[in-house]
Amino acid sequence: MSSAPAAVLDALGDGTRREVFELLRAGPQSVGELAARLPVSRPAVSQHLRALKEAGLVSDEADGRRRRYHVERAGMAVLRDWLDEFWNEALGAFSAFVAEERT
């Protein structure tokens, strides 16, 4: 399982995976429950879940004979931290620009 920002961005770069991820925000669901709400097959949903899991965005737990998938918040924290770096750099550059303009 990877939690690198690039892996998260790559995983969410696919529209169907984003839709699966959005559906899981409502709570844990099985492959069958997700497939019933999507225009793709159960095997396709499983493949998308695998990619999301490898990126650290979802995890699963046994529920009888089924697996229930849920959002792994730490995966999004990696992306947020990465984006915060850009924001902090932009704020730093703006602060330096304002300080330079005042002198």
Could you tell me the CA-to-CA distances from 80 to 10, 13, 22, 93, 95 in Å, in that order? Answer: 15, 16, 17, 20, 22
Position 95 scores a pLDDT of 86
The CATH fold of domain 5-102: Arc Repressor Mutant, subunit A (1.10.10)
| Residues in CB range of 103: below 8 A, 6 or more apart | none
Interval 8-57: pLDDT, tens: 999 999 999 999 999 999 999 999 999 999 999 999 999 999 999 999 99
Residue 47 CA to residue 67 CA, distance in Å, equals 14
Interval 48-91: pLDDT, tens: 999 999 999 999 999 899 999 999 999 889 989 998 988 888 88
Question: Domain residue spans in the chain?
Answer: 5-102
Position 86 scores a pLDDT of 83
Q: What's the pTM value of the predicted model, to 2 decimals?
A: 0.81
